[in-house]
């Protein structure tokens, strides 16, 4: 079977592209990496790929707000290409800074939720950068193709602007995919289980198709058992984040 061509889209300040590449390659993808300028100049074409990923980092130093500059570049110079890419049934994944980019372009939550940018990600309630492992509860009723067959994850967060906020009535219209939870899978337990104060404990959302997904935590940082904090004390198992990438490739193989 031919490998699924996957593009990791970078900008100055991206710093999680290598880990994301390894995660997709471990799952079985053929992975390419490109700066946004290469797509602007048509040196590489989005239409050549079946999955596009915007990984974590601090694009352009998050100098205006996290992901805003890259979001404006994509919206103004790649917006039509991305619309055609999504309409063709292909997959888009945003991780951390990638989530911030996707909501600030308006690509997420998607056209069914009104407003040019109905949600945003802003400063953590704790007033500090949160970098630690957290529990996630997966919404098994979500249409998201990336989390099929999953019930939860234990993976790291690393962000200072991860609090999802929305206008009146908007949160109830979102396709919530993952929520911050305690070790038993309970939501609504507050800080520190919810590291940023996000409304409804939201850690990730998708569009109505389930093919455009973004989350603040980092599944690419737990694909091998030896990345787990207690790997020497517990029986080995697959890294919780790996299934996200495997699910993506299984879906994309049918495109």
Query: How many angstroms separate the CA atoms of 40 and 85, rounded?
Result: 15
Among 148, 212, 150, CA closest to 175: 212
Residues 6+ apart with CB under 8 A from 111: 207
Label the pairing between strands 130-138 and 119-122: unpaired
206 is known as an active-site residue = no
Of the candidates 73, 135, 161, 218, the residue annotated as catalytic is 218
Query: How many angstroms separate the CA atoms of 176 and 109, rounded?
Result: 10
135 is known as an active-site residue = no
131 is known as an active-site residue = no
Of the candidates 16, 96, 144, 206, the residue annotated as catalytic is 96
3-state secondary structure 37-105: HHHHCCCCCHHHCCEEEECCECHHHHCCCCCHHHHHHHHHHCHHHHHHHHHCCCEEEEECHHHHHHHHH
Of the candidates 73, 130, 161, 220, the residue annotated as catalytic is 220
Query: How many angstroms separate the CA atoms of 186 and 173, rounded?
Result: 22
CA angle 86, 157, 133 (to 5 degrees): 130
Query: How many angstroms separate the CA atoms of 126 and 145, rounded?
Result: 32
Q: Which residues are catalytic?
A: 96, 218, 220
């Amino acid at each position: 079977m031919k490998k699924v061509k996957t593009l990791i889209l970078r900008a100055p300040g991206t710093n999680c592209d290598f880990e994301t590449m390894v995660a997709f390659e471990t799952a079985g993808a053929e992975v390419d990496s490109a700066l946004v300028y290469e797509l602007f100049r048509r040196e590489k074409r989005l239409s050549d790929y079946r999955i596009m990923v915007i990984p974590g980092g601090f694009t352009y130093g998050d100098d205006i707000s996290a992901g805003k500059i890259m979001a404006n570049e994509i919206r103004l110079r790649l917006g039509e290409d991305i619309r055609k890419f999504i309409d063709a049934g292909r997959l888009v994944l945003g991780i951390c800074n990638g989530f911030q980019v996707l909501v600030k372009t308006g690509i997420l939550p998607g056209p069914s939720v009104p407003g040019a940018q109905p949600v945003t990600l802003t400063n953590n309630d704790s007033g500090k950068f949160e970098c630690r492992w957290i529990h996630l509860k997966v919404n098994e009723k979500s249409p998201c193709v990336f989390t099929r067959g999953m019930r939860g994850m234990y993976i790291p967060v690393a962000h200072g602007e991860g609090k999802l906020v929305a206008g009146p009535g908007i949160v109830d219209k979102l396709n919530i995919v993952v929520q911050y939870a305690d070790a038993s899978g309970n939501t609504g337990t507050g800080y520190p289980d919810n590291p940023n104060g996000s409304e409804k404990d939201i850690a990730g959302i998708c569009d109505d198709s389930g093919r455009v997904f973004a989350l603040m935590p980092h599944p690419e940082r737990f694909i091998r058992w030896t990345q787990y904090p207690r790997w020497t004390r517990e029986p080995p198992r697959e890294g919780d984040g790996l299934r996200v990438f495997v699910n993506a490739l299984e879906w994309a193989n049918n495109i």
